[in-house]
Amino acid sequence: MDGDGTYDGLFFAGVTTTGVFCKPSCPARKPRPERVEIYGTAREALFAGFRPCLRCRPMGDGGAAPGWMDALIGRIEENPGRRVRDADLNADGLDPVAVRRAFKRRFGMTFQAYCRARRLGEAFAAIKGGASIDDAVFDYGWESHSGFRDAFLKMAGRPPGSARAEDFIRLAWIDTPLGPMIAGATAEALCLLEFTDRRMIEAQFATLSKRFGLPAMPGDSPIFGRLRDELGEYFAGRRKSFGIPLAYPGSDFQRRVWAGLLGIPYGETRSYSELAVELGLGPGAGRAVGHANGLNRLAVLIPCHRVIAADGGLGGYGGGLWRKLRLLEREGAVQAATG
């Protein structure tokens, strides 16, 4: 740890003598190398038994993307059709391998995959808006029709010409004090909000596309601007409920449980069996309620974190128990969660 913020987001350092882990830019005194263990993600450091440093706050403000990553994403957003090659990254003083790994950890895809998906999303929207396939091919960085068609078919599961008749699920990444989240939205509503390091995130994409019958790819939506604002207010303690339109298709039982979650007031918790009783299912349905709870695709907004174990323990949480605890702390329900 040498105070250099260039490497923030690329790794985390656990200090064995103090039991804390830090960002590379932490201003604390530099420990001896033999007392440092390196982890690729904050999640790995947490599971290794280290706690977040109170000085550099790797789980707080440290959840934001490092400056170089923000700048790189900004360049892509200015011109999504531009191809960025390894030589371009080298020219900017960035190591392509480090960039690839950092994007993989943060977004679940490499930088080149992110760029490719972003170009496909823009091309999809252009074709849907009436642009010709020829225009989409060459305006968004492909060198041949076959290359574009193959990439489009792989991501969307259908040929490019079908785009004019269909919508798609737009995906965006949202920074929060608890780490980055991936959001998905149709033209009308938010349909996905998950922490990017959740183990089931890829299965969520597949389920989402199947439920809506739409491909999912990076894109922009007015819903995301509203989501960022409302999440910012929530984490700042100025918002207790959300007004964003939600879409959460599922079985009748799942939707019943998710509606029950929306009915748990801010600052309160329920056990799985208590929620089952409130839903008219009886306490014996607690396990089934817990399973449906775990399949919720709209973290925080559909507050599955407010459901705890019968003994007052935290129970489970797909986004990580430490996040569940932090959410309950912010809502003033931590005593109910810890007994």
Residue 163 confidence (pLDDT): 47
Check which CATH number belongs to the domain holding 82 and give it. 1.10.10.60
Name the β-bridge partners of 12: 39
CA distances from 174 to 39, 194, 211, 225, 234 (A): 23, 10, 23, 10, 14
Mind listing the pLDDT tens digit for each residue in 310-329? Answer: 888 888 888 888 889 889 98
Q: Which domain holds residue 85?
A: 67-165
Answering whether pTM is above 0.85, one says no
Enumerate the active-site residues: 22, 304
Mind listing the pLDDT tens digit for each residue in 138-183? Answer: 455 554 555 555 555 555 555 545 544 456 788 888 888 888 888 9
Identify the domain boundary among 104, 136, 165. Answer: 165
Domains contained in the chain, number: 4
* DSSP designation for 28: S
Mind listing the pLDDT tens digit for each residue in 111-124? Answer: 877 777 676 666 66
List, as one string, the DSSP characters of 96-163: HHHHHHHHHHHHSS-HHHHHHHHHHHHHHHHHHTT--HHHHHHHTT-S-HHHHHHHHHHHHSS-GGGG
Tell me the average pLDDT across 58-70. 64
Rounded CA separation 153/147 (Å): 10
Is residue 90 included in any domain, yes or no? yes
Identify the domain boundary among 165, 182, 200. Answer: 165
Is residue 241 included in any domain, yes or no? no
**Among the ranges given (6-15, 184-193, 241-250), the one the predictor scored with the smallest mean pLDDT:** 6-15
Check which CATH number belongs to the domain holding 25 and give it. 3.40.10.10
- The secondary structure element, H or E, covering residue 37 is strand 36-39
Indicate whether 50 and 90 sit together in one domain: no
**Among the ranges given (239-243, 265-269, 285-289, 304-308), the one the predictor scored with the smallest mean pLDDT:** 285-289
Mind listing the pLDDT tens digit for each residue in 191-203? Answer: 999 987 776 666 6
What is the separation of C-alpha 62 from the centre of its chain, rounded to a whole number of angstroms?
15
Indicate whether 104 and 181 sit together in one domain: no
Tokens describing residue 332:
């003033």
